[in-house]
Amino acid sequence: MVLSDLVLQICQVLCVLLLAPLLQGFILKAEERVQRSRGPSLIQPYRDLWKLFHKELVLPESASWIFWIAPFVAFTAMLIVPILIPVLTDRPLPLSDMGDMLGGGMVLTLGSFAILLAGLDSGNVYGGIGSSRAVMLGILAEPTLILVLVGISLLAKAMLPFVVNHLLLSSLSVYWSPAHVFLILGFFALLLVETDRLPIHSSTHIEIYMIDEARILEYSGPLLALLKWASMMKQFILYIIFCNVFLLPWGMSQLGTPLGQLGSVFTLLLKFLLVALAVVVVETVQSRLRFYRYQEPLAAGFLFAVLAIVSSQLL
């Protein structure tokens, strides 16, 4: 029995919504395990979200309507993006031509932008610091993201992620071509930055290191839960793009049967396991870079993206 397209679409969004905290829990636990301690349980992020939804909401006096709206904007943006990208099926579903890859990137950035404004909104010092640092990182990272998307579009001669996925599945020579290898490396650098991993972010709450935690310092209760969930979903989405579009385009459901969907979910989790382990290894091996050296990994990513574009034209 083939599920209808609408159901499939809803399944994709639900998958992202429900499985994002699991990925976060896995990464945290794996990091601790690598350092030979026990780490929190895998479903701890679920428990945290549950706890936050039941807490009292406290607002600063200087907050305006932006403070209220930002978590909803971010959350909604993260719900829109899974409609546009290949999550479970590898054929385009009805609403997925609402936006191509650049459109998806823009929606993702819209979510981050909303949180940025919220950080500035209450006039808190830490919010200001967090926002300005996040903007600086954005300035360095966004061109790389755009160039990576341009690179992959040049390779596939189309802007849709589904076309890219099919191309990589069908043609091994494109998979191993230098352009593609560079795009993988460039996107991996971006992945590390955008999902708050070292060498840029640190998980402590010491003021001089915070970037993302600083922005949401004023939030509490359900709004904080929404923000945390949004960032976990962003991580999940970036992983989806990395795996399904760039690195491991295999294992997605083609027909749309329920069993196929379950299998697709399972393969997705397996792919994420591999990538998450790689990320954990990278994070454990290095320490945090000093602030003025944040440009270096991003410059490397930029270089990779440029090289990808150059080699796709020359070779």
Instruction: Give residues in contact with another protein (CB under 8 A).
Output: 172-178, 181-182, 307, 311, 314-315
CA 249 vs CA 89, 93, 153, 165: distances in Å: 11, 17, 16, 6
As beta bridge partners, residue 253 has 89
d(CA 265, CA 15): 8
Toward another protein, which CB reaches closer, 208 or 314? Answer: 314
Cβ atoms < 10 Å from Cβ of 67: 19
Calpha distance 232→45 (Å, rounded):
9
CB burial class (10 A; 0-12, 13-18, 19+) of residue 301? buried
Closest to 107 in 3D by CA, of 75, 137, 138: 75
- For residues 117 and 299, which CB has a smaller minimum distance to another protein in the complex? 299
- Shortest distance, position 172 Cβ to another protein, whole Å: 5
Nearer to another protein, 37 or 173 (CB): 173
The residue type of 104 is G
Between 76 and 177, whose beta carbon lies closer to another protein? 177
Kind and range of the H or E run holding 143:
helix 125-156
Which is nearer to another protein, 77 or 179 (by Cβ)?
A: 179
Give 47 or 293: the residue with its C-beta nearer to another protein: 293
In this structure, are residues 145 and 195 in contact, taking their beta carbons and an 8 Å threshold? no
The least distance separating another protein from the CB of residue 143, rounded to whole angstroms, comes to 18
